[in-house]
A = this chain, B = another copy of it.
Amino acid sequence: MNIKKIVLPETELPRQWYNILPELPTPMEPPLHPVTGKPLCPDDLLPIFPMSLIEQEMTQDTYVDIPDEVLEKYLIWRPTPLYRARGLEAWLDTPARIYYKNEGVSPAGSHKPNTAVPQAYYNKISGTKRLYTETGAGQWGSALSFSCALFGLECNVFMVRVSYDHKPYRRIMMETWGGTCVASPSNKTNAGRSILEKEPDSPGSLGIAISEAVESAVADEHNKYSLGSVLNHVMLHQTVNGLECQKQMALAGDYPDVIIGCAGGGSNLAGNCLPFVRDKINGKDIDIIAVEPAACPTLTKGPFAYDFGDAVKMTPLLPMHTLGHSFVPKPLHAGGLRYHGMAPIISQLIVSGLIRSVSVHQLETFKAGIVFARTEGFISAPETNHAIAVLIQEAMKAKQEGKEKVILMNWSGHGLVDMAAYEAYLAGELSDYAIDDEEIKDSLAELDDLPKPRQYRA
Which A residues are closer than 8 A to B by beta carbons?
1-5, 7, 9-10, 68, 71-72, 75-77, 87, 105, 107, 109, 146, 149-150, 168-169, 172-173, 175-178, 370, 373-379, 416-417, 419-420, 422-423, 426
Contact = CB atoms under 8 A, between A and B. Distances in A.
A197 B177 CA distance: 44
A420 B76 contact: no
Contact of A172 (B10, B168, B376, B420): B420
Contacts of A173: 379, 416, 419
B176 A426 contact: yes
A10 B87 CA distance: 17
A426 B179 CA distance: 12
A50 to B, nearest CB: 23
Nearest to A76: B377
B426 A172 contact: yes
Given A173-B419, A176-B379, 12 more contacts: A1-B10, A5-B10, A7-B7, A76-B378, A107-B373, A107-B377, A169-B417, A169-B420, A172-B422, A173-B379, A173-B416, A175-B422
B417 A419 contact: yes
Nearest to A366: B176
Task: Say whether chain A's binding surface is mostly helix, strand, loop, or mixed.
Answer: helix
A71 B146 CA distance: 34
A377 B105 CA distance: 12
A3 to B, nearest CB: 6
A269 to B, nearest CB: 24
A7 B78 CA distance: 11
B1 A68 contact: yes
B150 A377 contact: yes
A75 B417 CA distance: 24
A4 B176 contact: no
A426 B379 contact: no
Nearest to A7: B7
